[in-house]
Amino acid sequence: MPTLTLRGPRHGFRLHQKNWGAALARSWRRWRLRWARHSQRKELRNLDAHLLADIGVTREKALGEASKSIFDLTDVYTHSL
């Protein structure tokens, strides 16, 4: 009858190694989101008063939003990336 032998992990294999591919993909998604938000905020500066009224935003709010940094992402969605 064959015997079952248990061997430890191979010498070069470490269980705590980070999955760099997943970390890189997550970082890339965050940067794409930041760049998209930054581009949309810049476009808010160029909207006319009637277009701002259509979306329910005042000129002051639009300029305040447009002046935010590219790193300013403070919504719940970014925490799940």
Query: How many CB atoms are located within 10 Å of the residue 44 CB?
Result: 19
The CA distances from residue 21 to 13, 27, 32, 47, in Å, are 17, 10, 16, 39
Q: What pLDDT is recorded for position 59?
A: 94
pLDDT in tens, 13-54: 555 566 778 888 888 988 898 899 899 999 999 999 999 999
Q: What pLDDT is recorded for position 1?
A: 59
Q: What pLDDT is recorded for position 4?
A: 67
Determine the straight-line distance between the first and last CA of the chain, rounded to whole angstroms. Answer: 51
